[in-house]
Structure 1
Amino acid sequence: MRATPTLLLDQAWCALGGDPADTAHVSFTGPAHTLSSALPVTALAQATIGAVALAARELGAARDESNPPGVTVDSRAAAMAISSDRHLRLAGEPLVAMHPISRFHRSADGWVRLHGNYPHHRAAAFAALGVDSVDGAIDALTKLTGSRIEELLAAHGALGFAVREPAEWAAHPQGSAVAALPLLDLARTGAGPEDPRRPTPTGPPAAGVRILDLTRVLAGPTGTRTLAHLGADVLRVDSPHLPENPGEYWDNAFGKRSTLLDLRDRADRARFDELLADADVLITGYRTDAMAGLGLDHDTLAADHPGLITAAFNAWGPVGPWTNRRGFDSLVQAACGIARIEAGDDPAPGALPTQALDRATGYLLAAAILRALTLRRRDGLGSRIDLALARTGAWLSAAYAPGEPETAEPFDPAPHLSRTDTTVGRLTHALPPFELPGLPAAWAHAPTPWGFDAAAWRNS
């Protein structure tokens, strides 16, 4: 039986620890299929966006003791939101593109997928393969097995994984580790100060909430873009030594601010710690070992900042041999069997119609943080939240119904797009995918350039 958005929302809301009866407040409209896929990606988009909207509604109701109206999630708006990077335009020109190395390639025993959109990742891949060009890399890959390619790339900090059948992934140590995990973890931690910062009594549901955003690319920025739309003061913090892709940045920067701090520099770290002392939420999207090395792991943060909500996610999950490996949505699709499912009868691998694992994980991230804020209002306790792209992939794969591919019904994207003037020009972009009382129909603030803003809270 084909998964529906209602079924997937029930599952997500259960994982979030919400009252099952609350899902009655969400209704789904629009065509059944607005994204073509072998897997139920339209339902995934609607369900995860519905989970955010429901969690926001719950927080708003807890804050002002009201009974807000229900929420509607239209499949067309959801499709636009979950693929917003595909619709982004600057002065009419697309901003997001994949580098030629970032695709499927032949290996000696099958297929592999590499990712090299960032210059340092391309350089690491070339070093691992002993080449200096894309053509040289493609040739070298054909002489190596998928497992050997994974080993070489990982040893050099590069990114690439073999394309596996779902059964192969299930038998792999990382696949079996992910299979044993729930969709997400939301666990309570210690109590904070007697009067912890709480959302203000008026305005959007997350008004007054301060969020430090240590994430990049798509999953984390999708979640924090959503939280900013809900009223939170989101300050994204990046290292000045890591490059950023303009398209992915501008797509997800609406409503947020962006600052640069080197957390290994004493002065910058001191400023970051000042920000952290006044934060309600810290979100990290880097490797677990990297965060532990900076003292930004769950346990250290819970001990040093009682009442803080910490959220962490990565590609492969918090346990297993790959827990500290880098990864992106397209690579998870390849390794966990989704690329084979999407291929159907084609011998070449396929792909989801958008970076759906990133986006869905981002919406689940936002929903979990909103739920943690609601719980903290009741008891003053903090929370620790864990998610992973591979866990979201396992959830989507479990909803697979063989022989029932979805063919998108055409629709006019114009009602779901808007234009915003920025310092770099006019951006055409997707609108927020749901409405709630007190929320603007469009993003509240235009994006500022990467690294442009001061390392300070808005009202400090």
Structure 2
Amino acid sequence: MGVPADPTAALLDEAWTALAGPGASRPALEVTGEDVGALPSRLPVLPAMTAAIAASTMAAAVLDAARGGGGRRGSDAREAFDAGRGDALAPDAGAGRDVDGPAVAGGRDIGGAGANGGRDVDGSGVAGAHRRTDPDLVGVDLRHVALAARSERLARVEGEPSSSSFAPLSRFFATSDGWIRLHANYPWHRRRALELLGTSDDPDAVARAIAGWRAVELEDALAAAGALGFAVRTLEEWARHPQGRAVAGEPLVRFGAGGGGSSSSGGGGAADGRGAAAVGGAADRRRAAPGVPGRAARGLRVLDLTRVIAGPVATRTLAAWGADVLRIDGPDLPESPATAVDTLSGKRSTDLDLGTPDGRETLERLLREADVIVHGYRPGALARFGLDADELAARHPHLVVVVLSAWGGVGPWGGRRGFDSLVQCPTGIAAIEGDDWAPGALPAQALDHATGYLAAAAALLGLAAVARGVRPRPASLSLARTAHWLCSVGTGERTGSGEDPAPGDLLVPLAGAPRPVRVVAPPGRIGDLVPRWAATTTLGADRPEFLPRVVG
């Protein structure tokens, strides 16, 4: 199946329906710039990334409107923001937003009937007079999208050389009947794999050991040993696999009832204020900080229990729209400092041992004070701490709960570990991106990044629901279901050089770490409102507490 003429529109349609519900209105979107060939792939990687970033920016626009931040309704909030510290968002002069209004777009047409070459994802708007001057418009730039998709490769610490994000053993190996990919970036995963294979960490020795295994048998043995590796399958083989069938039956974003009950797709009317139960009780209303006027997510609090890329991308996106994000790591499984350079932007970071009474008490205090929790640990891994999504929703009904996982918590692999590069293998992506003699990989960790932006959108729409007095439902996303979404629009010819475009002013400096860092600026804009990060931090450098709330 070939890629449709307008894959961005098709992917965004599915994403927004999954996030906000069938028929939910959405802000107008303008996509500018050109595909510079930085993400060459047989799959629509750039359109998928564009759709995911657009969805998160549109969700920020919905929240901004729900909090009175846009248009004439938000003029007081705008003045309050301009008078306060503008360290999280960068508004320019301008006014006016109506998220239920007609779609107005500029640039190229993506699925609509926009005049003058206007790009209109709603298919109902016109372009021209409002182009680039309409403060209602959500904007996404393709060059910025391409850079954001590979942000971890571009992040730099001043005075330090760049480093690879993959360890020597994190690669494809030939088996007796096919291919498998290991993931050995973390020392505990590497140690378990080497113990199973009975070999040293020399790549050639590992290759010889793996050559004697059948791919699927080694896949299962690694999982049983607590190590990581997945066999390469075709799309057709994945479609027949029990896990592939389970993932295909899931929505792109699954919403739980919160407290037990059925789950469904669609945000329960988050974009329109329809659907789920109202936030009830005086205590709930006191906690409903999203109802306080303000721009986008400014003054809202996010508890970040995520690692690697997908979850941290979601939470740094919330930070870029003004949220106070506090990342929590445990003492036993340290994160890679190289990865954290890119994903700590806009956040603070603390260590907390949930295995101790003091750690659990501190966590409960933070949960009471937070507006959002995002966690990306393996399904069931945090249940003993009361962090199961439905239990969280029942115990803290004010919280917007977003959960990310590799396989979606369904099917025979529901509780297995996984990373972007591994999820590409059984889902057919590695086979699509390979050639006759070896499998290949996407030009970016696109499953991670796209899932992260979609998770941010789910959180932002949940906050918009709370601002309207609607109780949010837990949202779950998975890398495997994002892979299904990416593959759903077909394949085409691989084009482009794969070279990153010159970042120019999109590579921004951040203070707050021992040495200044440079990272790709957060993509997207809402009319005159531009997301940005004020500073960064280092892992475990901050106290386990939120900042005083900032209103406006």
**Which amino acid in 2 is paired with 1:253?**
L
Rounded to whole Å, the distance in 2 between the matches of 1:424 and 1:333 is 36
Rounded to whole Å, the distance in 1 between the matches of 2:240 and 2:376 is 27
Rounded to whole Å, the distance in 1 between the matches of 2:303 and 2:199 is 39
Aligned positions of 1:227-376 closer than 5 A? 227-343=318-434, 345-376=435-466
**Which amino acid in 2 is paired with 1:70?**
L
Counterpart contact for 2:291–2:468, Cα < 8 Å = no
Offset, 1:307? 2.5
Rounded to whole Å, the distance in 2 between the matches of 1:245 and 1:347 is 33
Counterpart contact for 2:138–2:527, Cα < 8 Å = no
Rounded to whole Å, the distance in 2 between the matches of 1:213 and 1:424 is 22
Counterpart contact for 1:88–1:95, Cα < 8 Å = no
Aligned to 1:16, the other structure's residue is in SS state helix
Identity %: 44
- Indicate the residue corresponding to 1:454 in structure 2: 543
**Which amino acid in 2 is paired with 1:263?**
L
Counterpart contact for 1:82–1:356, Cα < 8 Å = yes
Rounded to whole Å, the distance in 1 between the matches of 2:498 and 2:407 is 33
Q: Structure 1: give runs of 5+ residues left out of the alignment.
A: none
Rounded to whole Å, the distance in 1 between the matches of 2:420 and 2:403 is 16
Counterpart contact for 1:316–1:389, Cα < 8 Å = yes
Rounded to whole Å, the distance in 2 between the matches of 1:376 and 1:134 is 53
Aligned positions of 1:148-163 closer than 5 A? 148-163=217-232
**Which amino acid in 1 is paired with 2:19?**
L
Matched, 1:86 2:175: no
Counterpart contact for 1:214–1:238, Cα < 8 Å = yes
TM-score by length of 2: 0.79
Rounded to whole Å, the distance in 2 between the matches of 1:213 and 1:320 is 26
- Indicate the residue corresponding to 2:62 in structure 1: 58
Counterpart contact for 1:126–1:133, Cα < 8 Å = yes
Offset, 1:187? 4.2
**Which amino acid in 2 is paired with 1:448?**
T
Rounded to whole Å, the distance in 2 between the matches of 1:420 and 1:299 is 37
Aligned to 1:312, the other structure's residue is in SS state strand
* CA pair 207-377 structure 1, distance change in 2 beyond 3 A: same
Which of 293-302 and 168-177 deviates more? 293-302
Rounded to whole Å, the distance in 2 between the matches of 1:142 and 1:407 is 34
Counterpart contact for 2:27–2:61, Cα < 8 Å = no
Aligned to 1:258, the other structure's residue is in SS state strand
Offset, 1:284? 1.2
Aligned-residue CA RMSD in angstroms? 2.0
Offset, 1:408? 5.3
Offset, 1:20? 5.0
Offset, 1:198? 2.1
Paired residues in the alignment total 457
Rounded to whole Å, the distance in 1 between the matches of 2:364 and 2:538 is 23
Aligned to 2:212, the other structure's residue is in SS state coil
Counterpart contact for 2:350–2:542, Cα < 8 Å = yes
Counterpart contact for 2:433–2:439, Cα < 8 Å = yes
Aligned to 2:199, the other structure's residue is in SS state coil
Aligned to 1:456, the other structure's residue is in SS state coil
**Which amino acid in 2 is paired with 1:359?**
H
Aligned positions of 1:135-174 closer than 5 A? 135=203, 136-174=205-243
Offset, 1:3? 4.5
Which of 280-289 and 173-182 deviates more? 280-289
Offset, 1:185? 1.4
Aligned to 1:195, the other structure's residue is in SS state helix
**Which amino acid in 2 is paired with 1:180?**
G
Rounded to whole Å, the distance in 2 between the matches of 1:19 and 1:230 is 26
Offset, 1:374? 0.9
Deviations 1:102-123 (A, max 9, x none): 0111111111000011111111
TM-score by length of 1: 0.94
**Which amino acid in 2 is paired with 1:372?**
G
- Indicate the residue corresponding to 2:125 in structure 1: none
**Which amino acid in 2 is paired with 1:321?**
P
**Which amino acid in 1 is paired with 2:429?**
I
- Indicate the residue corresponding to 1:419 in structure 2: 509
Aligned to 1:28, the other structure's residue is in SS state strand
Counterpart contact for 2:247–2:408, Cα < 8 Å = yes
Q: Structure 2: give runs of 5+ residues left out of the alignment.
A: 75-95, 98-135, 259-276
**Which amino acid in 2 is paired with 1:452?**
A
Of the three residues 34, 40, 50, the one matched with 2:44 is 40
Rounded to whole Å, the distance in 2 between the matches of 1:422 and 1:223 is 20
- Indicate the residue corresponding to 1:103 in structure 2: 171
Counterpart contact for 1:174–1:320, Cα < 8 Å = yes
**Which amino acid in 2 is paired with 1:356?**
A
* CA pair 298-409 structure 1, distance change in 2 beyond 3 A: closer
Offset, 1:188? 5.1
Counterpart contact for 2:194–2:201, Cα < 8 Å = yes
Offset, 1:300? 1.4
Rounded to whole Å, the distance in 2 between the matches of 1:234 and 1:438 is 23
- Indicate the residue corresponding to 2:253 in structure 1: 184
Rounded to whole Å, the distance in 2 between the matches of 1:441 and 1:53 is 9
Aligned positions of 1:381-396 closer than 5 A? 381-396=471-486
Matched, 1:70 2:137: yes
Counterpart contact for 2:290–2:464, Cα < 8 Å = no
Which of 271-280 and 423-432 deviates more? 423-432
Offset, 1:4? 2.7
Deviations 1:252-292 (A, max 9, x none): 11111101011111111111111111111111101112122
Rounded to whole Å, the distance in 2 between the matches of 1:439 and 1:262 is 38
Aligned to 1:289, the other structure's residue is in SS state coil
* CA pair 362-226 structure 1, distance change in 2 beyond 3 A: same
Counterpart contact for 1:58–1:374, Cα < 8 Å = yes
Rounded to whole Å, the distance in 2 between the matches of 1:228 and 1:333 is 28
Counterpart contact for 2:254–2:476, Cα < 8 Å = yes
Higher normalized helix content (fraction of residues): 1
Counterpart contact for 2:373–2:401, Cα < 8 Å = yes
